[in-house]
Amino acid sequence: MKGSYREFVLQCLRCGGRYSPHEVHTWCPACRVDGALDALYDYDTLRRDWSRASLAGQHERGMWRYDRLMPLASSRFAPSLMVGNTPLYAKPELLGPGSPLKVWIKDESRQPTGSLKDRASALAVAHALECGATTVAVASTGNAASALAGMSASRGLRNVIFLPRTAPREKMAQMIGYGAEIVLVDGHYDEAFDQCLQACEQNGWYNRTTGINSYMSEGKKTVAFEICEQMDWQTPDLMFVPVGNGCILGSVYKGFADLLQLGWIERIPRLIGVQAQNSDFMHRAWHSGQSMDIVERRTPSSLASSINVALPRDRLKAMRAVTASGGEFLCVDDHSIVRAASELAARTGVFAEAGAASAYAGLCKYAELHPHTPQTAVILITGSGLKDTSIYLPNTATSVAAAATRAARPTAALL
């Protein structure tokens, strides 16, 4: 178990400033919302004192078996819900017997509240309690809020959710069930972000929001640790990650980078960030080569609500993930996302929400662009289809969703 905060420092990706954890809260004081802090650990000491073998027999601790690479004095404030230990399914023939891509699926829909965001929210609750906070707030399109509500409920911690009024009703039902206080916001995620930030600064609440709270990467990165452990410390060639706010993509990179520093893996996979065509800031920024400060912000309109963001708040970490790993950003339209979700469910039994299914849509697009390159690939399914069922129900979905669903699975017309 870790003993003190002295084992890590925080460095801003934008200005390069370095801070001890007691000098800052969750963001760079110089760059504020435009910066992003990395937690850097004492890797030399960890290499000497910690080994992969020591993880054996600790699976009952879930993600907390990796607490030496978390920004906490200890994990004693961890929520009581089991977070982590999600399955990695080998589906080598998913794209057909002739495909050179051999595929695995990391299924984060099996988390307590149904999404990968449980990893970040579990860390947020533990850190908030360690800091003496009594109220935690978040701006979210749904999954981060559901996760925070569930993790907070397990510890009796008050939580306030700033949520777009258009958020899926299934996610709102979760929050209500967990007892969260919900503030409905007119607009999209970006408006919720601004209102949450203002409320936290006025009331002194702990802000769990991605882009404000740099520690959230440190919870989400544990998914990369698990993938490596489940693959016997052999990393795949490619990893496909949905991108909305950019935090998951940046976190996956940080997880692999931490393990590389420890010498537990030999390389970082090429990270492929997948965006919806109608919410494609990172894709446009990467292809243009322009500074993200001047890339146009466009009102998002994808039906994939969980990745529907005008300005990704963790854009610095997301861009680093792709450039440092030699990866790329891909863009897929809503029709492709809906078809991918239906195909994934029908072929594998993994039931993904639209945003999560974009990872599979990206894999399919990549396979078309690289038809003859033998590679191993992991697709990261970040949330359950039960979080937003509209794409599976032709009578309630948009016309593009209904058409794509029927095209992918003819029996859908019988629902």
Query: What pLDDT, on a 0 to 100 scale, did the predictor assign at position 373?
Result: 85
User: Does pLDDT of 1 surpass 50?
Assistant: no
**Better pLDDT: 98 or 354:** 354
**Better pLDDT: 181 or 32:** 181
What number is the average pLDDT over the span 198-202? 96
Beta strands 206-207 and 328-332, pairing class: unpaired
pLDDT above 90 covers a percentage of the chain that reads 86
pLDDT digits (tens, 9 = 90+) for 112-159: 999 999 999 999 999 999 999 999 999 998 999 999 999 999 999 999
Query: What pLDDT, on a 0 to 100 scale, did the predictor assign at position 321?
Result: 98
pTM of the model as a whole: 0.93
pLDDT digits (tens, 9 = 90+) for 7-41: 899 999 999 999 998 888 888 999 998 999 999 99
First-to-last alpha carbon distance for the chain, in angstroms, is: 52
Selection from 11, 16, 19 nearest residue 38 by Cα: 11
DSSP state of 306: G
pLDDT digits (tens, 9 = 90+) for 366-396: 999 998 889 999 999 999 999 999 999 866 4
User: Does pLDDT of 333 surpass 60?
Assistant: yes
Selection from 146, 191, 135, 147 nearest residue 165 by Cα: 191
Assigned token pair, 365 = 């697009």
Give SS3 for 415.
coil
CATH of domain 88-114+216-414: 3.40.50.1100
| pLDDT band (50, 70, 90) for residue 404 | very low
Report domain extents, the chain: 88-114+216-414
Contact present, 207 and 138 (Cβ < 8 Å): yes
pLDDT above 70 covers a percentage of the chain that reads 93
Task: Report CA-CA distances (Å) from 62 to 83, 119, 213, 378.
Answer: 6, 10, 22, 21
User: Does pLDDT of 185 surpass 70?
Assistant: yes
CA gap 407, 412 in Å, rounded? 9
Q: Is the C-alpha dihedral spanning 50, 53, 54, 60 positive or negative? A: positive
Query: What pLDDT, on a 0 to 100 scale, did the predictor assign at position 395?
Result: 61
**Better pLDDT: 341 or 371:** 341
Give SS3 for 206.
strand
pLDDT digits (tens, 9 = 90+) for 202-233: 999 999 998 889 999 999 999 999 999 999 99
pLDDT digits (tens, 9 = 90+) for 229-279: 999 999 999 999 999 999 999 999 999 999 999 999 999 999 999 999 999
Query: What pLDDT, on a 0 to 100 scale, did the predictor assign at position 372?
Result: 84
Contact present, 38 and 11 (Cβ < 8 Å): yes
Query: What pLDDT, on a 0 to 100 scale, did the predictor assign at position 414?
Result: 31
| pLDDT band (50, 70, 90) for residue 2 | very low
Contact present, 10 and 19 (Cβ < 8 Å): yes
Q: Work out the mean pLDDT of the chain and round it to a whole number.
A: 92
DSSP state of 59: G
User: Pseudo-torsion of CA 242, 248, 251, 253, nearest 10°?
Assistant: 0
Angle, helices 334-348 vs 354-369, to 10°: value is 100
CA gap 208, 79 in Å, rounded? 15
